[in-house]
Chains A and B, each alone.
Chain A
Amino acid sequence: EAGVAQSPRYKIIEKRQSVAFWCNPISGHATLYWYQQILGQGPKLLIQFQNNGVVDDSQLPKDRFSAERLKGVDSTLKIQPAKLEDSAVYLCASSSPRGRNRFGPGTRLLVL
């Protein structure tokens, strides 16, 4: 079974620029999550999808962050414009019904 794929693995941008991250979940997993992990902290949920619908986006800074999951498979997380405090690791995870979160390797973002 292939794991959760994410790209890019690393990204360096300047503040006020835009950036996008891509996630391909495990085949057949209906639920997809994006977590943000700031250095020295545990991951925090940004958004959760069930198929292509949003289940929970209460912690997503909607003035600058957006996410979509077209066709209920791949997902894209975008930041526009980026701030210094957005420097973090962005983790994508997927799960089957009642299954455990399976995490991808993450995208490390540095905003200068």
Chain B
Amino acid sequence: GEDVEQSLFLSVREGDSSVINCTYTDSSSTYLYWYKQEPGAGLQLLTYIFSNMDMKQDQRLTVLLNKKDKHLSLRIADTQTGDSAIYFCAVSIYNQGGKLIFGQGTELSVKP
């Protein structure tokens, strides 16, 4: 089945850019998502990209998709302390009814 992998931790300084990476195994992934989860809170959808796109930009967020390498990244420009959270990559698979396969999450720590 599909497997989604993320690095577990990332630490950056306030004002720097953060890049969170994700790899997946199933080439029939249709939509790829980034969710944010703050301590004790639910999942907040940040952005998503369709599999026929290479890049999507939304304010401080840039998503890059390399289909050949099955690699997805999320870049956060001008990272703020409020961006400290766990970020999950998730993929949906064509013809599997919309269920999501999640990575284990990357904990982003932003130091002032």
Contact = CB atoms under 8 A, between A and B. Distances in A.
> Do the two chains bind?
yes
A48 B88 contact: no
B72 interface: no
A54 to B, nearest CB: 11
Contacts of B96: 56
A41 B104 contact: yes
Interface in A86-112: 91, 95, 98-106
Contacts, number: 52
A21 B4 CA distance: 28
Given A48-B99, A56-B99, A100-B48, A41 B105 contact: yes
Which residue of B43, B48, B102 has the most chain A CB atoms within 10 A of its CB atom?
Answer: B43
A24 interface: no
Q: How large is the interface on A (under 10, 10 to 19, 20 to 34, 35 or more residues)?
A: 20 to 34
B45 A100 contact: yes
Q: Is the interface of B mostly helix, strand, loop or mixed?
A: strand
A88 B31 CA distance: 26
Contacts of A102: 45
Q: How large is the interface on B (under 10, 10 to 19, 20 to 34, 35 or more residues)?
A: 20 to 34
29 contacts: A31-B97, A33-B100, A35-B100, A40-B104, A40-B105, A42-B4, A42-B88, A42-B90, A42-B102, A42-B104, A42-B105, A43-B43, A43-B88, A43-B100, A43-B102, A44-B102, A48-B98, A56-B96, A98-B98, A99-B98, A100-B31, A100-B33, A101-B98, A101-B100, A102-B45, A103-B45, A104-B42, A105-B42, A106-B42
